[in-house]
Amino acid sequence: MNKPTFGNFRPFALIGERLLASTAIKIELPPSQHALMVQRKAAIEKHLEREGSPLKGLIRLFYQQGSVAIGATIRAKFRQEGFDIDIIVELLGRGSLTPAQVLDLLYEAMRGEPGSRYYDCTERQSRCVTVYYADGMHLDLSPAVLLDERDPRRSYIFHSKLEEPRWKDTTILTNCFGFVAHYNERCPIDQMFAEDYGRLVRDADLQLQVMMKDADSVPVPVHSTTVGGKSAVTVALQLLKRNRNIRWLPRNRRMPASVMFSCLSLEVAEAGRTIGQNLKVIAEHILDRLIRAKSVGELLHVENPVCRGDVFTDRWPVDHTDQDLLIGDMRLLLQQLAELFDDRRSFKDRAKTLEDMFGETVARRVVDEFAVEMGQSVRSGTHLLGATGGILAAPTLVSAKPAAPRNTFYGTKWSKS
C-alpha cells in the first residue's frame, strides 16, 4: 500500500502551481459527481441482473478499470464536458459464444425492452456497451471472462466491430484490475499536498452530497477529498490527459491511450514533487521513450507490468505519424510549462499559455477566479505576492454556487448534434 510522505514544501506556494491545481479541479470528477456515479453504477448492476435479463445469473463481478479506479478521471472535451467511466462485467463463462455474440448479449441485457429506462441511451461499441446520460456522464461496460481462478483478474475481453467481417473478431488479454492495484500501491502520496489539494477540491464543489453504495460489488474508490488523499502524480496525469484531448480531438485520429500515460507516469513517480514538477518529469519521460523508439525505427511499446501480453499500445500508435505527433506535443508541453512558471512573463501572458495548454473555457474560469481571489485578498490585506511570484498567504478558492442540476439519474438519449 502506498505510504503518505511528509515534505516541507508548500504545494501551492507559486502562482504556476495554483493555476495548475485550479485547472485540475475544474477538469476532474467532483465529489458530488463521484457520488452520483456510484449510484448509477449500482443501478446498472441491478438492471443487468434483473429477472428476465439475458445475463441473469451469469455475472460473477463488476469492477472499475481505467482512470476512475486510480482517481484520474477527467471531463471529456465535448459531450457537455462529461465523464467516461469504465466498468468490467465479468461473466461466469461464454461457452461457445463468439466475441460478437458476447457483446450483443450485453447490449441486449443493458438496453432492455422498449420503454426501458436505458433503451434509448445504450449503444454497442467494438469492445464495450455504452450508457449515455443527459448530463454528459457515460458508462462503458466491457464484458470479460476470467482465465484462471488462481490468477484473478487476468481475463479476456472481446473485440468485434459491427462494420467489419466476423473473422476479424478476437479476444484480448487484459488484467486492468492488477494494474490498478499496482498503480495505487506505488503511486506516492505527500500528506501536505493531499490535505491542501483536498481542501481546494471541497471548496470548489458546493454540490457535495452523500449517496448510498451497493455492497454487492467492488465499490468505486473513495474520492480524493477523503481518506488517502490525492497524489500530485495523479493530478499531473489528469492535466496531461486534458492536454492530450486538446491536441488530438481536432486531428480526427485515435488518441494515445490513458492507461499508457498512467503506466509511463508511474515509471518515474516519486514523492516530494509538486504538480508542475511531476508534469515536467512525466512529459520528459514520455518524450524520451518516444524518441528511443523512433531512433530504431519502431513504434512505442508499453505493456502491463503485472500481466505480460496485456499491451497498452495495441491500438495506438497506429503508425509513425501518430508517434511523431505525440513527440511534438510533449516538446510543446514542456515549453509551455517553462513559460507558465517564468516569473519574468506577465500574468496575462501566462494566462494565455494556460489556455493553450488546457483549453480556453477551463483556463478562463481558473484565471477569473484567481483574479477575484487576489483582488479580495489585497483589499483585505491578507495576501502578498513574493518577488519571484510566490504566494506568501494563500486563501482558498472563490467559487460561485452552481444551480442545482436537473435529475438525470437514469440517463436519456445523448444527442450527437
The pLDDT averaged over each successive group of 10 residues in the chain (417 residues) is 44 80 84 81 94 94 85 64 80 87 97 94 96 90 90 91 95 94 88 76 56 39 48 94 95 95 96 93 98 98 96 96 98 97 92 95 90 68 48 39 35 38
Quote the pLDDT of residue 1. 43
Q: How far apart are CA 273 and CA 265, in angstroms?
A: 13
Quote the pLDDT of residue 195. 77
Q: Find out whether 105 and 55 touch, Cβ atoms under 8 Å.
A: yes
Q: Find out whether 176 and 371 touch, Cβ atoms under 8 Å.
A: no
346: left (phi over 0), alpha (psi -120 to 50) or beta: beta
Q: How far apart are CA 368 and CA 157, in angstroms?
A: 45
Query: Which amino acid would we find at residue 71?
Result: G
Quote the pLDDT of residue 381. 54
DSSP state of 74: B
Query: What are the φ and ψ backbone dihedral angles of 145, each rounded to 5 degrees?
Result: -130, 125
What residues form DSSP beta bridges with 145? 91, 156
131-168 burial code (b ≥16 CB/10 A, e <16): bbbbbbbbbbbbbbbbbeeeeebbbbbbbbeeeeeeee
Quote the pLDDT of residue 308. 92
Q: Which residue has the cell 443527459?
A: 134
Helix/strand/coil for 366: helix
Q: Find out whether 248 and 206 touch, Cβ atoms under 8 Å.
A: no
Quote the pLDDT of residue 33. 76
Quote the pLDDT of residue 94. 73
Query: Which amino acid would we find at residue 246?
Result: I
363: left (phi over 0), alpha (psi -120 to 50) or beta: alpha
Quote the pLDDT of residue 376. 66
pTM score, whole prediction: 0.80
